[in-house]
Amino acid sequence: MVTSFRRVVKAGFVGFWRNAYVSLASIFVITVALFVIGSTMLINQLLTVSLVQLQSKVDINVYFVPTAPQEDIDSLTTSVRALPDVELVTYTSREDALSEYRTKNQNDSVAMQALEELKENPLGATIAIQAKETSQYESINQFLQEQKSPIIDDINYIKNKESIDKLTGIIDAVKQASFVTLLVLLVAATVITFNTIRLAIYTAKEEISVMRLVGASNAYIRGPFMLQGVMYGVISGVLALFILYPILLWLGPKTAAFFELNIFDYFVTHFAYIFGVLIGIGVALGLVSSMLAITRYLKV
């Protein structure tokens, strides 16, 4: 058995180098496909981080009328905090709201002059509500609308909902485009690898005939071609990782500044997972292509 295995491995390597140019074409296409897969994984991570960051910044702001009694505000705030969908409620008093307004508009002389002429605080208290999940803002807004409290001046739910929905739509569109591109490349890689193995079978047809005459088993005849498919996948996976490394090293500081995630650090930290995914997909792709070609053209 060991001797047969060694012969299969040797025949696989011989077949690989015998059709070196065609093998390189298969490796090139599979490498491109695996590079796109790896890039898609990393892009999805950046988009996920962006969505989480936006979700942490988006909330429902409830603005109270300036004349709202403090006890009514406290009662509504307590009711909101008790909701199971609410993660955090931040209260801002009228005085704090005025202080923030002065700080924000300190260089706007018109706004500051108008504020001085009013001689009293025109701003009401506010509460900022953060939900545990983005989908839960709808139920929180519905609860607030059902209150129909006269102390509520405005609720900015609709404006923030549009922002989160737009980002979610962009992310979904990018994922769909990545999936379509990936599917096209995988099909192309499968077809080219399939043709490569078919050519290898045609080149070795005389040897296959001799092996059949001397009673070689089907597994022994198929083995070298299956090994070639596995070799295509492994080499392509390694090449894809080598290509990704310098690109991510260059992009790391830029993504850290824009997305608050250094994509190179993420790549290094999760290297074992990314390596396993790319090599695994490459081997599966090469093996499936080989099996299809063997089944179609190798009558054993």
Looking at residue 114, which CATH number applies to its domain? 3.30.70.3040
Residue 238's pLDDT is 93
* Whether the predicted pLDDT of 300 surpasses 60: no
* Whether the predicted pLDDT of 50 surpasses 90: no
Q: Is residue 21 part of a domain?
A: yes
Looking at the structure, tell me whether residues 216 and 260 fall in a common domain: yes
Looking at the structure, tell me whether residues 242 and 175 fall in a common domain: yes
Residue 167's pLDDT is 64
Select from 150, 174, 191 the last residue of a domain: 150
Q: Is residue 59 part of a domain?
A: no
Looking at the structure, tell me whether residues 288 and 172 fall in a common domain: yes
Looking at the structure, tell me whether residues 181 and 34 fall in a common domain: yes
Nearest to 139 by CA among 151, 157, 162, 125: 157
Looking at the structure, tell me whether residues 289 and 237 fall in a common domain: yes
Q: Is residue 158 part of a domain?
A: no
Looking at the structure, tell me whether residues 13 and 118 fall in a common domain: no
Select from 150, 178, 199 the last residue of a domain: 150
Tokens at 269, concatenated: 């930290």
Nearest to 73 by CA among 129, 151, 184, 171: 151
* Whether the predicted pLDDT of 246 surpasses 90: yes
* Whether the predicted pLDDT of 114 surpasses 80: no
Q: Is residue 262 part of a domain?
A: yes
Looking at the structure, tell me whether residues 200 and 277 fall in a common domain: yes
Q: Is residue 94 part of a domain?
A: yes
Looking at the structure, tell me whether residues 47 and 70 fall in a common domain: no
Looking at the structure, tell me whether residues 48 and 88 fall in a common domain: no
Looking at the structure, tell me whether residues 129 and 77 fall in a common domain: yes
| CA 13 vs CA 223, 224, 245: distances in Å | 11, 8, 28
Looking at the structure, tell me whether residues 114 and 90 fall in a common domain: yes
Q: Is residue 60 part of a domain?
A: no
* Whether the predicted pLDDT of 269 surpasses 90: yes
130, β-bridge pairs: 88
Domain, as residue range, for 93: 66-150
Report pLDDT digits (tens) over 165-175: 776 677 677 77
**Based on the structure, what is the number of domains in the chain?**
2
